[in-house]
């Protein structure tokens, strides 16, 4: 966007979007896909998890219910002038608060599966919290000031801050994904007896994360070339797709954690979309075991998963494994 356009309020922010019909149709398509993905994810969450607890479950649920859905509805109301401006801005702000930092928290929640360093985990968590405070509050103030005050300095400030905010959050997600990829590759190398399976899963995980990164890049490109209306409706669609990909990522991670796992029946597979493997999900697999309860140094960390965290079908079909794991974790004394 050229400097002169930085002094103009974004298209559609005030008084609704008055562009051509093609852009309106594209905006509706983006919003429809985002809502469809969000509703599907909401249903899948309660079908997939046995127990509704854990950081991964709640961040994913809130990102869908209080993030993607309100953000999508808000901009439909705003661009098509279907509600008062204050209502659209408030709903959109709430959705953005939960959806964008929420995505970073979802990425953070699965780091516990592959990262053993508590310092690194704390660094990532504090980075998410500090960035949210530093970026969300100024942008919110500038958004409402642009809508109701609309002076040139405020509009310029909003246009700059809105782009800076999106770029910063995308960079933060790149960092977390980079840590995850690096640590996953290290752990995959600890499985020399399963070279073919290890290599396949490694490339699948890298491909999923590459798609997530490309979606962020596409969002940044649309933002910086000045298509505000398309960017704000594309954003919830992109984040809904990234949240769906999280199911695939978690399934691959849990399949690595389970050194032996039973194959689900075709009936079980038919209940879920192709990107979900329900036999791989557990009640709460997003936290590494405490230091004092981890397996001995000579044992692979992947073998220390608790049977209580497995689905009931897994527990019934693996009595020998349960006995072995129980004996491994008993106090020698």
DSSP for 276-299 reads --GGG--S--SSPPPGGGSPPTTS
Q: What is the pLDDT of residue 244?
A: 86
Q: What is the pLDDT of residue 116?
A: 82
| Number of H-type helices and E-type strands within the chain | 12, 0
Residue (of 79, 105, 111) closest to 92 by Cα position: 79
Q: What is the pLDDT of residue 32?
A: 94
Asked if 282 and 309 touch (Cβ cutoff 8 Å), the reply is: yes
Place of tokens 């770029």: 167
For residue 23 the two structure tokens come to 């852009």
Q: What is the pLDDT of residue 251?
A: 67
Q: What is the pLDDT of residue 133?
A: 93
**pTM of the model as a whole:** 0.73
Q: What is the pLDDT of residue 33?
A: 95
For residue 311 the two structure tokens come to 């689905």
Distance CA 209, CA 194 (A): 22
Q: What is the pLDDT of residue 257?
A: 54
For residue 309 the two structure tokens come to 């965290």
Match domain 3-257 to its CATH number in 1.20.1070, 3.30.450, 1.10.1220, 1.10.3210. 1.20.1070
Asked if 89 and 78 touch (Cβ cutoff 8 Å), the reply is: yes
For residue 250 the two structure tokens come to 């978690």
C-alpha distance from residue 251 to each of 157, 285, 286 (Å): 42, 11, 12
Q: What is the pLDDT of residue 55?
A: 85
Q: Is 16 helix (H, G, I), strand (E, B) or coil?
A: strand
How do the domains of the chain map onto residue ranges?
3-257
Q: Is 12 helix (H, G, I), strand (E, B) or coil?
A: strand
Q: What is the pLDDT of residue 177?
A: 84
User: In a structure prediction context, what are the per-residue pLDDT tens digits for the chain, which is 333 residues long?
Assistant: 444 477 788 877 777 787 788 888 999 999 999 999 999 999 888 887 877 888 888 888 999 999 999 999 999 998 888 889 899 999 999 999 999 998 899 888 878 777 888 999 999 999 999 999 999 999 999 999 998 998 889 999 998 998 899 899 989 988 988 888 788 777 767 765 556 766 677 677 778 878 888 888 888 888 888 788 888 899 999 999 988 887 777 766 666 555 434 444 444 444 444 444 444 444 444 444 444 444 444 443 333 333 333 334 334 434 444 444 344 444 444
β partners of residue 16: 12
């Amino acid at each position: 966007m050229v400097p002169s356009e930085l002094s103009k309020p974004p298209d559609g922010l005030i008084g609704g979007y008055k562009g051509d019909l093609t852009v309106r149709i594209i905006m509706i398509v983006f919003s429809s896909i985002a809502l469809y993905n969000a509703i599907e994810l909401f249903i899948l969450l309660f079908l997939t998890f046995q127990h509704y607890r854990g950081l991964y479950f709640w961040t994913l649920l809130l990102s869908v219910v209080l993030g993607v859905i309100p953000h999508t509805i808000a901009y439909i109301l705003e661009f098509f002038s279907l509600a008062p401006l204050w209502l659209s801005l408030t709903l959109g702000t709430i959705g953005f608060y939960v959806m964008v930092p929420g995505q970073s928290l979802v990425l953070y929640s699965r780091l516990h599966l592959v990262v053993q360093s508590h310092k690194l985990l704390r660094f990532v968590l504090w980075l998410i919290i500090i960035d949210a405070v530093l970026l969300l509050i100024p942008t919110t103030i500038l958004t409402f000031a642009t809508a109701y005050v609309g002076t040139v300095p405020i509009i310029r400030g909003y246009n700059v801050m809105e782009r800076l905010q999106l770029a910063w959050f995308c960079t933060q997600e790149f960092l977390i994904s980079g840590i995850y990829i690096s640590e996953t590759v290290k752990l995959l190398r600890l499985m020399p007896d399963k070279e073919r399976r290890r290599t396949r899963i490694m490339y699948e995980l890298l491909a999923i994360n590459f798609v997530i990164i490309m979606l962020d890049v596409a969002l940044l490109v649309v933002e910086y070339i000045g298509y505000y209306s398309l960017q704000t409706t594309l954003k919830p669609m992109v984040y809904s797709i990234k949240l769906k990909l999280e199911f695939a990522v978690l399934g691959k991670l849990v399949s690595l954690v389970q050194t032996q796992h039973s194959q689900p029946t075709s009936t079980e597979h038919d209940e879920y979309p192709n990107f979900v493997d329900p036999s791989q999900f557990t009640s709460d697999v997003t936290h590494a075991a405490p230091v004092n309860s981890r397996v001995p140094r000579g044992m692979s960390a992947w073998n220390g998963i608790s049977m209580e965290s497995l689905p009931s079908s897994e527990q019934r079909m693996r009595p020998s494994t349960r006995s072995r794991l129980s004996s491994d974790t008993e106090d020698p004394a």
